[in-house]
DNA sequence: GTAAATTTGTCAAAGATTGACAAAATGAAT
DNA sequence: ATTCATTTTGTCAATCTTTGACAAATTTAC
C-alpha cells in the first residue's frame, strides 16, 4: 500500500461515505483532529487501531502492520535515510535481536 | 559498526580511560544518566552529539549517522520489524519523498 | 574492608503529544 | 451570491513522555 496512514484512513472514510464528524464519532475522537490525522499533521493513536479495524471490518494484524510500516517510513523520511544508512540500521537491529536472548 | 550507540560511547570512554564522572563532566550531563545511556536504558541527547564529537575528535557527520542508524535500528527492533515490513516501509518512505516536491 | 566507580531508585522539571472547542476556509447546491 | 455542510486551521490546557538531578545501593579493584 503506497500511501500514508492518514491517506489510507481518508480513503476508507470517503469510500464508505462518512464525513469527518461521522467517522470521528465512531472512533471517539475529535473530528478536527481526525482531519489533521488524514492530512499527516498528527498521528493516529495506536490504541484506536482496534476500533478502526472494527469500523471498517479490517484484519487487525494487517492494520497494525500498515500502521507500523507507516511509522517506520515516517522515521526514515525524517532522518533522510539513505540506502546505506538503512543497511547499517538493519545490521544494528539484527545485533539488538542477538542481544536479547 | 555493530553495537548500540550506548555501547559505542562506553567503548570510547573506556579506551580513553575516562570514568563516568569524568566523561559526564565533559559532556555536561549527569554521570548516573550517562550510565543509563551506555546501558541502553536512556537515549543519548541528540543535541549533545557535537560535544561528543569534540571530546573524542570524531567526524560529526559520521557520528550523526551512527546515531540516526542506531535510533532507526531501535525502532525496527521495538516493532519486531520483519524483512517484509521493512520493504513496505521503504516503499512508503520513498512515497513520502515524492510527496514533498 | 574500603574507596572509587557504576548502577539503580525516585521524582520534579521540561518537552512533546493529544483532546477540545472556536473560528475560518472550502465546496456544493440552488 | 447565499446558505448550509464539511473540512481545515488556531489555540491552549490536559496528559503523557522524557530528561535532569541527587540519593542510595551495588559492584569492582585494591
Q: A63 — contact with chain B (CB < 8 Å)? A: no
Rounded to whole angstroms, the Cα distance separating B97 from A74 reads 10
How long is the CA B48 to C1' C15 vector, in angstroms?
A: 16
Q: Which residue is nearest to nucleotide D7 (CA to C1')?
A: A35
Cα A80 vs. chain centroid, distance in angstroms? 19
Contact B85 A69 (CB under 8 A): yes
Q: What is the DSSP string of A20-36?
A: HHHHHHHHTS-HHHHHH
pLDDT digits (tens, 9 = 90+) for B45-87: 999 999 999 999 999 999 999 999 999 999 999 999 999 999 9
Candidates A4, A72, A89; nearest CB to B79: A72
What domains are there in chain A, each with its CATH number? 5-99 (1.10.260.40)
Distance from CA of B69 to the nearest CA of A (A): 5
Is residue B12's beta carbon less than 7 angstroms from any atom in nucleic acid strand C? no
| Stretch B17-29: mean pLDDT | 96
Q: State whether residue A53 is helix, strand or coil.
A: helix
pTM of the model: 0.93
> Is a pLDDT exceeding 70 seen at residue B33?
yes
Q: What is the pLDDT of residues A53-97, one digit of tens each?
A: 999 999 999 999 999 999 999 999 999 999 999 999 999 999 999
pLDDT of residue B2: 72
Residue B101 reports pLDDT greater than 70: no
C-alpha cell at B23: 566523561
Confidence of residue A101 (pLDDT cuts 50, 70, 90): low
Question: Per-residue confidence at B1, pLDDT binned at 50, 70, 90?
Answer: low
pLDDT at A47 over 70: yes
A-chain CB neighbours of B62 within 8 Å are: none
**How far is the C-alpha of B101 from the C-alpha of B98, rounded, in Å?**
6
8 Å CB contact of B92 and A65: no
Contact B72/A85 with Cβ under 8 angstroms? yes
Is pLDDT at A29 greater than 90 in this prediction? yes
Region of A97 on the Ramachandran plot (φ > 0 left; ψ -120 to 50 alpha; else beta): alpha
| Structural contact between residues B96 and A77, judged by C-beta atoms closer than 8 angstroms | yes
What is the rounded (10 degree) CA torsion for B48, A99, B68, B2?
100
Residues of A in contact with B71 (CB under 8 A): 75, 79
First to last CA, chain B: 33
For B89, what's the count of Cα atoms within 13 Å in the CB-facing half-sphere?
28
Amino acid at each position: 500500500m503506497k500511501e500514508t496512514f492518514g491517506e489510507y484512513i481518508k480513503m476508507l472514510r470517503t469510500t464508505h461515505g462518512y464525513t469527518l464528524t461521522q467517522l470521528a464519532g465512531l472512533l471517539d475522537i475529535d473530528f478536527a483532529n481526525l482531519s489533521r490525522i488524514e492530512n499527516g499533521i498528527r498521528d493516529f493513536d495506536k490504541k484506536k487501531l482496534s476500533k478502526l479495524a472494527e469500523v471498517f471490518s479490517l484484519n487487525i494484524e494487517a492494520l497494525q502492520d500498515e500502521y507500523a510500516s507507516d511509522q517506520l517510513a515516517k522515521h526514515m523520511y525524517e532522518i533522510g535515510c539513505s540506502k546505506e544508512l538503512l543497511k547499517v540500521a538493519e545490521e544494528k537491529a539484527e545485533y539488538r535481536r542477538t542481544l536479547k536472548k
